[in-house]
Structure 1
Amino acid sequence: MAVYTEVSDEDLTAFVAGYGVGEVMSCKGIAEGIENTNYLVETEGGRFILTLYERRVKRDELPFFLGLMEHLAAKGVPCPTPLGTADGQVLRELCGRPAAMVSYLDGMWPRRPTPDHCAALGQALAHLHRAGADFALHRANDLSLAGWRPLLAASLDHADTVKPGLAAELEAELAYLESHWPADLPAGVIHADLFPDNVFFRGPTLTGLIDFYFACNDFFAYDVAVCLNAWCFERDGAFNATKARRLLAAYGRVRAFTAAELAGLAVLARGSALRFLLTRLYDWVHTPKGALVTPKDPLEYLGKLRFHQAVTGPGAYGLG
């Protein structure tokens, strides 16, 4: 359940009136997602998503996220477009929370991604990277290498209760990444959280990229590595090289990889796996019992990390 803040009919009507989209016809809470409160609002003027920002999203970073969506949508990237009021306000307040309305995107996220889905994703991700090249705002990735040691420290004492020996394994992996992390790779705006539930399709056609609230500036190839981990492992933990090859090939046809990016892909994939393992571990040990959201299993990403640790070259990802 991801509706943390209930909005009264009166408050909703007053809020939506500022956008000039007509009378509210219906409003339904959206259960998917864990960070914010989301409602599907239907008005005389169409369908929209109303978001109240709750947990990890900092208010002073919201202009970056909303501005980025507006910029990308103007460049043809299929992402939500923030609505503005008559006096130009995009970020407002509702029920004591920062809030915004964005356009609604048709489609469903793929519960079982296919190689075709992965190819469409790779193409869309490359277009996103190119479209964001002239976005004026900058946001550092606070969940990249410099942020992993304090994140690990916050959960280290509990790691072995999740799996015996996990604390030492994570310490060793982080030390390796700190000494092997690439430098000076092509960089710019990345999504940083493009899991299947953040990508919509209608049939084979990709119709939307959503949830830009981890977007930041970092290596493009790191964003690709996030997608390899999120899209190219099967439910039994096996890596699907066909999906990876289709994703990487489609990306490369829009934005060519450099030799340094391909050489560093395994390390970046290890870093991506560690990042999600650590955030899941933190949630696993710190989320109180009875909370509205059930934390995700961090050990899923331990298996992915171990796969990448054994990679000796791009061939493991389906590349010649």
Structure 2
Amino acid sequence: MAVYTEVSDEELAAFLKTYDVGTVLSYKGIAEGVENTNYFLHTTGGNFILTLYEKRVKEGDLPFFLDLMRHLAQRGLNCPLPVTNRTGEALGRLGGRPAAIVTFLEGVAVRRPTARHCEALGRALARLHIAGQNFPQIRANALSLESWEPLFALAESQADRVAPGLAARTRKELAFLGQVWPSGLPSGIIHADLFTDNVFFIGAEVSGLIDFYFACTDAFAYDIAICLNAWCFETDGSFNVTKGGAMLAGYQSVRPLTSAEREALPVLCRGSALRFMLTRLVDWLNVPPGALVKPKDPLEYDRKLAFHRHVTSASDYGLA
């Protein structure tokens, strides 16, 4: 369970006194996710999500994330809306951590998405990119190319304990991507972490996008690459080109890709796979003592990288 900080009944009651959300009826930790502590909060005023921010989320970045969610929600994107306290602030402190309450979204996350889910996700991702285009704030991607070498330095000496040859493969990949990483692509606000547990569905339609705490300013096509990695591989490690094609078709039905974005997609897929392999590897080797969390397998993304190395064009992902 992704609960790093336990909250007592007394602490929670005192925290909620500063909000107009009613009194607590129940609350419980949410198992999904590995970055922050999340609770489902049921009060006399409704259902909410309470988040205590941990690990990589810098407190100074939190106003950006909360302002962004408000901006997107006001432009019709189904995402959580931050709840302000009685002094008009969306950010407080609980259990020694920065904390916020956001509205609860209906729907369920799908663990084994179909092509229809992938197509709907593509449309939702494009709508997010368009809705964020006039957001006035900028936040650099703290987990892009420049961060991968320092991340690997934290794990290189132990990488081969996780899998033989992992250190050498990663070192070679870092060198390659450093030479070919694209620039000048259409950019703006991206989600940067849109895994299946961050998208809710009612039927086959997207009912909400959540967890914007890696959102940043970067290439739109990089966000697509993250989603191709997260949504279109099967449990046996094979890439499902039908799902990839559906996702890309859904995206392009709202926002067509440029020729430069199409050409860059294979490299971006390699980069996004390396990014998640590295952060998972660091987490795998550094589980906080006493944390009720199971780190995610970094080798899943090492295997995805092996697939991407043989891709020759975006058509291999199903792009028409």
- TM-score calculated relative to the size of structure 1: 0.96
CA distance in 2, matches of 1:44, 1:290: 33
2:18 paired residue number: 18
CA distance in 1, matches of 2:56, 2:16: 25
2:104 paired residue number: 104
Could you tell which deviates more after superposition, 181-190 or 92-101?
Answer: 92-101
Q: Give the Å deviation of 1:289.
A: 7.2
2:207 paired residue number: 207
Q: Give the Å deviation of 1:187.
A: 0.5
Could you tell which deviates more after superposition, 279-288 or 191-200?
Answer: 279-288
Q: Give the Å deviation of 1:21.
A: 2.3
1:282 paired residue number: 282
Could you tell which deviates more after superposition, 281-290 or 138-147?
Answer: 281-290
CA distance in 1, matches of 2:27, 2:205: 27
Q: Give the Å deviation of 1:86.
A: 2.7
CA distance in 2, matches of 1:71, 1:4: 29
2:273 paired residue number: 273
CA distance in 2, matches of 1:4, 1:273: 26
Q: Give the Å deviation of 1:95.
A: 2.4
2:143 paired residue number: 143
- Tell me if 1:170 matches 2:176: no
CA distance in 2, matches of 1:165, 1:4: 32
Q: Give the Å deviation of 1:288.
A: 5.8
2:2 paired residue number: 2
- Match of 2:39, SS state, is strand
Q: Which has the higher contact order (CA 8 A, sep 6+)?
A: 2
CA-to-aligned-CA distance 1:187-246 (integer Å, 9 cap, x gap): 011000000011111221211111111111110000000000000000000100000001
CA distance in 2, matches of 1:208, 1:106: 8
- Tell me if 1:29 matches 2:29: yes
CA distance in 2, matches of 1:282, 1:202: 35
Q: Rate the CA distance shift 1:6–1:288 in 2: closer, same or farther, 3 A.
A: closer
- Match of 1:133, SS state, is coil
Is contact 2:115-2:243 (8 Å) kept? yes
How many residues align? The count is 320
CA distance in 2, matches of 1:90, 1:229: 33
Could you tell which deviates more after superposition, 75-84 or 8-17?
Answer: 8-17
CA-to-aligned-CA distance 1:122-162 (integer Å, 9 cap, x gap): 00000000001111111111110011111111111112222
- Match of 1:247, SS state, is helix
2:128 paired residue number: 128
2:55 paired residue number: 55
* Residues 227-246 of structure 1 mapped to structure 2, 5 A cutoff: 227-246=227-246
Is contact 2:3-2:37 (8 Å) kept? yes
- Match of 2:102, SS state, is strand
For 2:270, give the aligned amino acid. R
Could you tell which deviates more after superposition, 212-221 or 4-13?
Answer: 4-13
* Residues 40-79 of structure 1 mapped to structure 2, 5 A cutoff: 40-79=40-79
CA distance in 2, matches of 1:288, 1:96: 17
- Match of 1:28, SS state, is strand
CA distance in 2, matches of 1:93, 1:191: 25
CA distance in 2, matches of 1:12, 1:285: 32
1:187 paired residue number: 187
CA distance in 2, matches of 1:204, 1:293: 30
CA distance in 2, matches of 1:133, 1:198: 21
Q: Rate the CA distance shift 1:189–1:11 in 2: closer, same or farther, 3 A.
A: same
Q: Once the two structures are aligned, what percentage of the paired residues are identical?
A: 62
1:259 paired residue number: 259
Could you tell which deviates more after superposition, 222-231 or 158-167?
Answer: 158-167
- Match of 2:82, SS state, is coil
Structure 1 residues not aligned, in runs of 5+: none
Q: Give the Å deviation of 1:97.
A: 1.4
For 1:274, give the aligned amino acid. L
Supply the RMSD in Å over aligned alpha carbons.
1.4
- Match of 1:184, SS state, is coil
Q: Rate the CA distance shift 1:100–1:291 in 2: closer, same or farther, 3 A.
A: closer
- TM-score calculated relative to the size of structure 2: 0.96
